[in-house]
């Protein structure tokens, strides 16, 4: 592999899967990226649901780019999003909040975590 191709593979890995410089073992970056894209493809659409408290959730996952997230009718910034296994993990809001969604049956299992608590629900296709 030439230096150019190695650099391109690392750049592709960073772009598609959130790899870091120490994550160099395992399958070639192209194979890793293809697996990540397949996992994300299963999540592509708009999802909605609500917590037991009645607060609404809407999550739009596009084919590429950053997902959009609304909580209780308000847009919430998505600071980063990456595929980890079959789950989409997003850093949301200004604090330590994370949203993790994983396929479950015909929906998505939704988990929100911050420094002090966890909230879970199921999201369905909108």
Structural domains in the chain, CATH included, are 32-125 (2.40.128.640)
Question: Which stretch of DSSP H or E encloses residue 123?
Answer: strand 118-125
Pairing outcome for strands 118-125 and 98-104? unpaired
Kindly list the distances between the CA atom of residue 84 and the CA atoms of 40, 75, 87, 100, 113, in Å, as whole numbers in the listed order: 10, 24, 5, 9, 16
- pLDDT at res. 88: 96
Mean pLDDT, the chain cut into blocks of 10 residues (126 residues total): 33 34 36 52 94 97 94 97 93 96 95 94 96
Q: For position 5, what pLDDT does the model report?
A: 33
Degrees (nearest 5) of the Cα angle 36, 76, 99?
A: 40
């Amino acid at each position: 592999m030439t230096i150019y191709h190695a650099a391109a593979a690392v750049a592709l890995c960073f772009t598609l899967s959130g790899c870091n410089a120490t994550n160099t073992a395992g399958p070639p970056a192209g194979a890793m990226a293809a697996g990540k894209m397949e996992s994300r493809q299963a999540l592509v659409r708009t999802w909605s649901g609500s917590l037991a408290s009645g607060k609404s959730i809407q999550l739009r996952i596009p084919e590429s780019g950053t997902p959009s997230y609304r909580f209780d009718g308000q847009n919430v910034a998505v600071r980063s999003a990456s595929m980890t296994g079959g789950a989409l993990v997003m850093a949301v809001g200004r604090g330590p909040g994370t949203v993790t969604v994983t396929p479950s049956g015909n929906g998505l299992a939704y988990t929100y975590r911050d420094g002090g608590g966890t909230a879970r629900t199921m999201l369905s296709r909108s």
